[in-house]
Amino acid sequence: MCGITGWIDWHRDLTQCSGILEQMTETLSARGPDAKGTWISGPCALGHRRLSVIDPVNGAQPMIRQTERGAYAIAYNGELYNTKELRSDLQSRGHQFLTQCDTEVLLVAYLEWKDACVERLNGIFAFAIWDEAEQRLFMARDRLGVKPLFYARGEGWFVFGSEPKALLAHPDIEPIIGLEGMAEIWMVGPARTPGHGVYDALSELRPGHTLRYDYNGLAISTYWKLESVPHEENAEETASHVRMLLEDTVERQLVSDVPVCTLLSGGLDSSALTALTVRHYERHGLGQVHTYSVDYVDNDKHFQAHAFQPNADEPWIRRMVEKLGTEHHWIKFDTPELVASLEEAVRVRDLPGMTDVDGSLLRFCREIKQGATVALSGEAADEVFGGYPWFHREEALSANTFPWALATPLRASLLKPEVAEHIRAEEYVADRYAQAVGEVPALPGEDAQSARMRVMSYLNITRFMPTLLDRKDRMSMGVGLEVRVPYTDHRLVEYVFNTPWEIKTYGGREKGLLRKALEGVLPDDVLYRKKSPYPKTHNPNYLNIVRRKALDRLDDSTSPLHQFVNAERIRDIAASEEASSHLPWFGQLMSGPQLFAYLLQVDVWLREYNIRVAW
């Protein structure tokens, strides 16, 4: 996995601007600690930082292929899981290869099929290819948006990068936030509306889209989106199909020339991936699988079960480690480490994020990186199979807003009234929700309940999943760790999206279909364990520290927060029971303590990035 950046400028010879390209590329060094490369030809400049996973010796980038028509150059971030099939197909069409890396396969696939190459790819990717003869840049992003890609454009120029920091290193791009950016931060964050880069100048290439840039300007096309089709198989057949897809996906995603591990929480999703990995290792004589888990000092003393986190993970991790015989690594952090990680997580993400949930993942990935370069993670199973509580709670199903963000009035009340009015706080969320619902592909003849659950599935896959994939990408690549997410395989997502809700909830359980598909793979007690999310600290010291720090910021007259927030309202919350509430204001994990931590992250971001607000 890697970091990419680049620049097209029709008014300059970019060979004279190599210093700027170097600066942009260097911002992505954490994503690619193993090597770096730049390439400039006339109006095109490409930069690349490499994390070596496949064919470390021969996979240097940007990679160039000379043809009779001219040069083709690629900067690529990702992994193709059908490299073997693509290579064989391309060889049968007369192409020859000099390396074993998927970068060359992707570049040759573009030579053969041009823009349509993306339809043949199974993997996670964001890439840019410069066609010298056509003087054209072609870019694409994977179907579910596992790998990020941002861009900005001006009169006669275009800049792109894996992360906002690469674009912000360009002298023509300033860290300015407009009304929509403020609404994204205060009312939607830590999520983002697809396509929005929050910064005024930045846009995001949406998942499943391609982009072409040439003398005529910019053109964006959709090559993949969820479609609704009738589901013809019964529950038994559906479970068998899901199992086949999942087994194939895991097999594909275990291909690597560097050490691989799995993240193990003891829950259904991660336990399944670990069990399938162990089976693969045993069949191929690859030795013992390494697994990793994260927890917090004294969490066992302070844990209290509630609707969003019904049980602790540690006993279930031990159960799976004993069952599968993995080499397990227990990683624990203390409260001061979590607080310290808040600022670092902002610098990695370039935006305020999921506070200690981000920070703990960043530290967790740093520990994993000491023993592995690639990890498999259970991200996205809940969005795909309907595991979150809001799939099953009437107040969320009937809320007429994003079900993971039911606290819109509370969030609006944190702002100064004039700010809330200026950014149309609650209306902005309502508009974004209406936009998302308007995209849902209807299935003719579907009854009202089934149609509503289809909407819920679509919202979770296209609006909530990207938030967690963003988090996973930034925090893992922030330390040079590649995390693969088998549940985002587009074949699996397409199939399960169209599975009727009564089959998804087979046996009357959340994720009942996945449980049915995994019978015989996991012990029954693990198979039917109640869902528990990514672990967070339950130590009351965390709340006490972030609440005090947030109040200290409000007592500081120089804090940029004063431009936006209703300080008295926040002080009232700090003094009330809302401060320690388990009712999330975003997702399952961001409740009272995370509200104060989010304010701290916004303060850090506004200061360190020298954000200028364009009212």
List, by residue number, the catalytic residues.
2
Q: List phi, psi (to 5°) of 312.
A: -85, 155
Q: Which residues are 71's β-sheet partners?
A: 66
The answer to whether the CB of 615 falls within 8 A of the CB of 571 is no
Query: How far is Cα 229 from Cα 444, in angstroms, rounded to an integer?
Result: 9
Query: How far is Cα 479 from Cα 343, in angstroms, rounded to an integer?
Result: 15
Three-class SS of 70-134: EEEEEEEEEEECCHHHHHHHHHHCCCCCCCCCHHHHHHHHHHHHHHHHHHHCCEEEEEEEEECCC
Query: How far is Cα 267 from Cα 286, in angstroms, rounded to an integer?
Result: 25
Query: How far is Cα 409 from Cα 187, in angstroms, rounded to an integer?
Result: 9
Which residues are CB-neighbours of 489 under 8 A, at least 6 positions away? 81, 122, 245, 249
The answer to whether the CB of 401 falls within 8 A of the CB of 510 is no
The answer to whether the CB of 391 falls within 8 A of the CB of 456 is yes
In angstroms, how far is CA 410 from the centroid of its own chain?
26
Say if strands 203-204 and 260-263 run parallel, antiparallel, or are unpaired: unpaired
Tokens of 477: 């690549």
Say if strands 123-131 and 70-80 run parallel, antiparallel, or are unpaired: antiparallel
CA atoms in the 13 A half-sphere facing the CB of 109: 25
Q: Which residues are 333's β-sheet partners?
A: 296
Query: How far is Cα 205 from Cα 143, in angstroms, rounded to an integer?
Result: 11
The answer to whether the CB of 64 falls within 8 A of the CB of 72 is yes
What CA–CA distances, in Å, run from 330 to 301, 317, 349, 458?
Answer: 17, 10, 26, 35
Say if strands 44-50 and 35-41 run parallel, antiparallel, or are unpaired: antiparallel
Q: Would you say the C-alpha torsion 500, 506, 508, 511 has a positive or negative sign?
A: negative
The answer to whether the CB of 385 falls within 8 A of the CB of 496 is yes
Q: Where are the beta strands (DSSP E) in 192-281?
A: 203-204, 209-214, 217-222, 260-263
The answer to whether the CB of 63 falls within 8 A of the CB of 41 is no
**Backbone Cα Rg of the chain:** 24
End-to-end CA distance of the chain: 38
Query: How far is Cα 128 from Cα 146, in angstroms, rounded to an integer?
Result: 16
What CA–CA distances, in Å, run from 399 to 139, 393, 449, 504?
Answer: 38, 10, 15, 22
Query: How far is Cα 56 from Cα 54, in angstroms, rounded to an integer?
Result: 6
Residue with tokens 């120089």: 558
**Whether the bond into 315 is cis, omega within 30 of 0:** no
